[in-house]
A and B are shown apart, each in its own frame.
Chain A
Amino acid sequence: MVEERLHYTPSSVPQVRTAFFATLPTGPTRWRRTSLVWQMVRFAIINLKMIRVISLSHHAGRKIRS
Chain B
Amino acid sequence: MAQARVVVLGAGVAGHTAASFLKKWLGAKAEVTVVSPRPDYNWIPSNIWVGVGLLQPRQVLFPLAPVYARHGITFRQARALVLHPEGAGEDPQPFVEIESTLPGEEGQRSRLPYDFLLNATGPKLNFDATPGLGPGGHSYSVCTAPHAKVAADAFLELVERMRRGERKRFVVGTGHGTCTCQGAAFEYVVNLEFELRARGVRDKAEIVYLTNEYEVGDFGMDAVHIRRGGYVTPSKVFTESLFAERGVDWVTRAHVQGLEPGRATFETLDGAEHDIAFDMAMLLPPFKGVGLQAMDRLGADITARLFAPSGFMKVDGDYTPKAYEAFRSADWPRTYQNPDYPNLFAAGIAFAPPHPISRPRQSPKGTPITPAPPRTGMPSAMIAKAVAHSITDMIQGSPGPTRTASMAEMGAACVASAGNNPFTGTAASMTVYPIVPDYERYPDYGRDLRHTFGEIGLAGHWIKILLHHMFLHKARLRPFWSLIPE
The residue in chain A whose Cβ has the minimal distance to the Cβ of B334 is: A64
Instruction: Known A56-B451, A61-B410; judge A43-B431 contact (CB<8 A).
Output: no
Interface residues in chain B, defined as those with a beta carbon under 8 Å from any beta carbon in chain A: 169, 202, 206, 208, 237, 240-241, 243-247, 249-254, 268, 272, 274-277, 335, 378, 382, 385-386, 389, 400-406, 409-413, 423-424, 426, 429, 431-434, 451, 453, 455-460, 462-463, 485-486
A19 to B241, CA, bound (A): 8
Cβ B458 vs Cβ A5 within 8 A: no
What are 14 of the A-B contact pairs (CB < 8 Å)? A13-B208, A13-B275, A13-B276, A49-B431, A49-B451, A50-B413, A53-B411, A53-B451, A54-B411, A54-B486, A58-B485, A60-B406, A61-B382, A64-B401
Name the residue on B nearest A43 (C-beta).
Answer: B459
- Residues of B within 8 Å of A21, CB to CB, are 240
6 smallest CB-CB distances across A and B, nearest first, come from: A19-B244, A22-B244, A57-B410, A60-B409, A43-B459, A53-B411
Q: Which one of B268, B276, B434, B463 contacts A46 once the chains associate, using CB atoms below 8 Å?
A: B463
User: Nearest CB to that of A2 among chain B residues?
Assistant: B245
Judging by beta carbons under 8 Å apart, are A61 and B413 in contact? no
Given A34-B423, A34-B426, are A22 and B386 neighbors across the interface (CB < 8 Å)? no
Task: Please give me the residue from chain B that is nearest to A38 by CB atom.
Answer: B457
Given contacts A17-B240, A61-B382, 10 further A-B contacts (CB under 8 A): A1-B202, A11-B208, A11-B277, A17-B252, A30-B245, A39-B459, A46-B460, A54-B486, A60-B409, A62-B403
Q: Give the CA-CA distance A53 to B453 in the complex, in Å.
A: 10
Most B Cβ at <10 Å: residue of A10, A25, A34, A35: A34
Bound-state Cα–Cα, A53 to B67, Å:
31
CB neighbors of B among A11-32 (8 A): 11-19, 21-25, 30, 32
- Contact (Cβ within 8 A) B237 A23: yes
Contact partner, B241, options A22, A58, A61, Cβ 8 Å: A22
Tell me if A61 and B456 are in contact (CB < 8 A): no
- CB-CB < 8 A to B433: which residues of A? 53, 56-57
By a CB distance below 8 angstroms, the chain B residues around A8 are 247
In the complex, the answer to whether B241 meets A32 with C-beta atoms within 8 Å is no
A40–B462 Cα distance when bound, in Å, is 10
Query: Residue among A4, A42, A46 with the most chain B CB within 10 A?
Result: A46
